[in-house]
Amino acid sequence: MLRALIERLRVPLLLLLVALALLAIASDRRALARGDRESGWWRGVLLELAAPVQKALTAPVDGTRNAWSHYVALRGVRQENERLRERLAQLEEENLQFREALVEGGRLRTIADMRRDVEVPMRPAQVVGMDVSPWFHSVLVDRGRSDGVHAGMPVVTEDGVVGVITATSPNAARTLLLLDAQSSVDGIVQRSRARGIVRGTGGDGLEFEFFVRGDDVQVGDLVITSGFGGVHPKGSRIGEVVAVHADPTAFAHRAVLRPAVDFGRLEQVFVLLWRGPALDLLYDGEGDQTGPVSETTAGRQTAAPAAAVPAKPTP
Amino acid sequence: MRRTALVAWGLALVGLWIVGSAATWLPRAWLPDVTLLVAVALGLRVPGALGLATAWAVGGTADLLSGGPLGQHALLDLGAWLLTRVGVHRVDLARGVVLVPFVATLSALQLLGQWALTGIPGLGREVFAIAIPQALVNAVVALAFQRLLEGLSGRVDPDDPGPGSLRIDAATGLR
């Protein structure tokens, strides 16, 4: 009886499922367009289940891959290397900020300002899985809300910008990579201060769209985050210009960037426990899952100005 | 039949986890589209509203685990299930010689569907460098996947008639 009823409802069910899927696509795109990157709790449930399983699945391969260097050839050196890489990331970020301060204002900021600015903690996280679809670029990391990680937080490595957290569960988070066609970040050329938008192409490269004279952007220029996008702090490396397509008749010009980060070798990343002012306004007051980072979740106060927020790893 | 549907969904979930992990050390083009394969296997074994809903749920699971927009895998896998049902009525899809080109064609159609729905990926050389090998991998793995679901559902669902068998149901007639 029940089966017969269900079978009779086949066509309405088909229409309902198609409508639901189309509605989901439309609402997801609308949410992305207005910058609302936090997804619902249902996504978090699957992330929470996926993270330990995928970690367990990648562990044997990673273990085998690292066995030689870890146990035979580089015994003891690997830990030291990881510590030094972390320190190097911190120093390079600080160095970039100092250079930014020099280029931008022509004078050094006061030591007190710097001390305040650099106090943005990082949370190291391990990449445990990639996107299940080859057409989207995201990674699953083994840190979540219980570690103070929330949607909208930037993710970096010692080389530069990786992406932004888009979904979280208590112990896992999904990071939308800069390469993804849905990603964009406000960037400036460090040498000429030419400003524009860096977009993921969905492939291995990035596209920089800028609105100044073509010769203000040259091959070899370094593009960094401007801090204006409200997601990434100012001064993180995005990529290097490898080609410029400047059409003198066009309003906007394009350049091709080689990402600063080698996305094919992502293993360890750092989540900046900081959310830009635009995202904080968007998510403020929406409960624990979407609320701003607090002392209790991040281990220390993370309020920071929009500009000049270099990264510093947590102890 | 319900158990078969549940097994198929479980197989899709485990498959997605494995693919997500394997993608950290293997090129994406070498990894199959698990949800497409499950949708095809469902189309071969689970007809009616149950198959329809399960195919949608399998796609929805991929949506939740992916960075892409919600709903697009659900819609595409629903389409794959429908096309498989249409194929089942016309040819013997359980035979490898038919199933392999069918799955390769479905893979190409899914790529077009994805592009039409989201504009991602842009149809360029970089995309075809992934899409063509993946379509071949899907086609090669499809038969093994179908056999795997058959084996698993045979264990958990003794009422499952298997693909290609004649099924007479008093309520719905001949299918």
What pLDDT is recorded for position A256? 93
Q: Which of A20, A132, A175, A182 has the most B C-beta neighbours within 10 Å, making it the best mutation to test the interface with B?
A: A132
Q: CA nearest A162: which of A173, A147, A148, A146?
A: A173
Grade residue B159 by pLDDT with cuts at 50, 70 and 90.
Answer: low
Least confident of A117-126, B39-48, B84-93, B158-167: B158-167
How do beta strands A138-141 and A253-259 pair?
A: unpaired
pLDDT, tens digit, for every residue of B61-72?
A: 998 888 888 888
Average pLDDT for residues B126-149, to the nearest whole number? 88
- Nearest Cα of chain A lies from the Cα of B155 at a distance, in angstroms, of 23
Q: CA nearest B37: which of B167, B148, B156, B158?
A: B148
| A47: its two tokens | 């992330």
CB B21 within 8 A of CB A57: yes
Please name the member of B52, B62, B122 whose beta carbon is closest to the beta carbon of A202.
Answer: B122
Q: Which CATH class is domain B2-158?
A: mainly alpha
Instruction: Give the residue carrying structure tokens 């305040």.
Output: A116
Q: What is the DSSP letter of A75?
A: T
B155: exposed, middle or buried (Cβ count in 10 Å: 0-12, 13-18, 19+):
exposed
Q: How far apart are the first and last CA of chain B?
A: 14
Grade residue A102 by pLDDT with cuts at 50, 70 and 90.
Answer: low
Distance (Å, rounded) from C-alpha B141 to C-alpha B137?
6
Please name the member of B17, B126, B172 whose beta carbon is closest to the beta carbon of A57.
Answer: B17
CB A201 within 8 A of CB A221: no
Q: What is the DSSP letter of A299?
A: S
| B80: its two tokens | 């794959």
Q: Give the torsion through C-alpha atoms of A282, A285, A289, A293, to 10 deg.
A: 80
User: In this model, does residue B30 exceed pLDDT 70?
Assistant: yes
- Nearest Cα of chain B lies from the Cα of A6 at a distance, in angstroms, of 6
Helices (H) and strands (E) in chain A, counts: 7, 13
Distance (Å, rounded) from C-alpha A226 to C-alpha A87?
24
User: In this model, does residue A13 exceed pLDDT 70?
Assistant: yes
CB A153 within 8 A of CB A272: yes
Other C-beta atoms lying within 10 Å of the C-beta of residue B108: 13
> Which helix (H) or strand (E) covers residue A66, if one does?
helix A41-67
Domain boundaries, chain A: 37-315
Average pLDDT, chain B: 84
pLDDT, tens digit, for every residue of A215-236?
A: 688 899 999 998 887 788 888 8
Contact residues, A window 50-69, toward B, CB-based 8 Å cutoff = 50, 53-54, 57-58, 61-62, 65
The interface pTM score, or ipTM, of the predicted complex is 0.76
Distance (Å, rounded) from C-alpha B122 to C-alpha B116?
10
Q: Are residues A132 and B16, on separate chains, in Cβ contact within 8 Å? A: yes
Average pLDDT for residues A173-183, to the nearest whole number? 90
Least confident of A26-40, A84-98, A274-288, B152-166: A274-288
Average pLDDT, chain A: 75
Q: Are residues B25 and A61, on separate chains, in Cβ contact within 8 Å? A: yes
Please name the member of A10, A65, A132 whose beta carbon is closest to the beta carbon of B49.
Answer: A10
pLDDT, tens digit, for every residue of B109-119?
A: 988 888 888 77
Domain boundaries, chain B: 2-158
Give B114-121's long-range contacts (Cβ < 8 A, gap of 24+). Answer: B114/A135, B114/B72, B114/B76, B117/A25, B117/B72, B117/B75, B117/B76, B118/A25, B118/A29, B118/B68, B118/B69, B118/B72, B119/A181, B120/A135, B120/A136, B120/A181, B120/A182, B120/A202, B120/B68, B121/A135, B121/A181, B121/A202, B121/A203
Distance (Å, rounded) from C-alpha B145 to C-alpha B1?
18
Instruction: Give the residue carrying structure tokens 């350049």.
Output: A255
**C-alpha to C-alpha distances, B109 to A219, B80, B132, nearest whole angstrom:** 39, 9, 12
Q: Is the peptide bond before A154 cis (omega within 30 degrees of 0)?
A: no
Distance (Å, rounded) from C-alpha B168 to C-alpha B175?
7
Q: CA nearest A307: which of A140, A120, A160?
A: A120
* Cβ-Cβ contacts under 8 Å for B83 (sequence gap 6 or more): B43, B106, B109
pLDDT, tens digit, for every residue of A243-290?
A: 988 777 777 888 999 999 988 888 889 998 877 666 666 555 443 333
CB A161 within 8 A of CB A238: yes
HEC profile of chain B:
CHHHHHHHHHHHHHHHHHHHHHCCCCCHHHCCCHHHHHHHHHHHHCCHHHHHHHHHHHHHHHHHHCCCCCCHHHHHHHHHHHHHHHHHHHCCCCCHHHHHHHHHHHHHHHHHHHHHHHCCCCCCHHHHHHHHHHHHHHHHHHHHHHHHHHHHHHHHCCCCCCCCCCCEECCCEEC
Q: Are residues B21 and A57, on separate chains, in Cβ contact within 8 Å? A: yes
User: Residue A10's closest chain B neighbor by CA?
Assistant: B49
Of A26-30, A47-51, A297-301, B52-56, which one has max mean pLDDT? B52-56
Other C-beta atoms lying within 10 Å of the C-beta of residue B92: 12
HEC profile of A13-53:
HHHHHHHHHHHHHHHHHHHHHCCCCCCCHHHHHHHHHHHHH
Chain A residues lying within 8 Å of B127, measured CB to CB: 135, 203
Q: Are residues A127 and B62, on separate chains, in Cβ contact within 8 Å? A: no
Distance (Å, rounded) from C-alpha A237 to C-alpha A109?
21
pLDDT, tens digit, for every residue of A53-95?
A: 888 887 777 777 777 666 666 667 777 887 888 888 888 877 8
A3 at B interface, C-beta within 8 A: yes
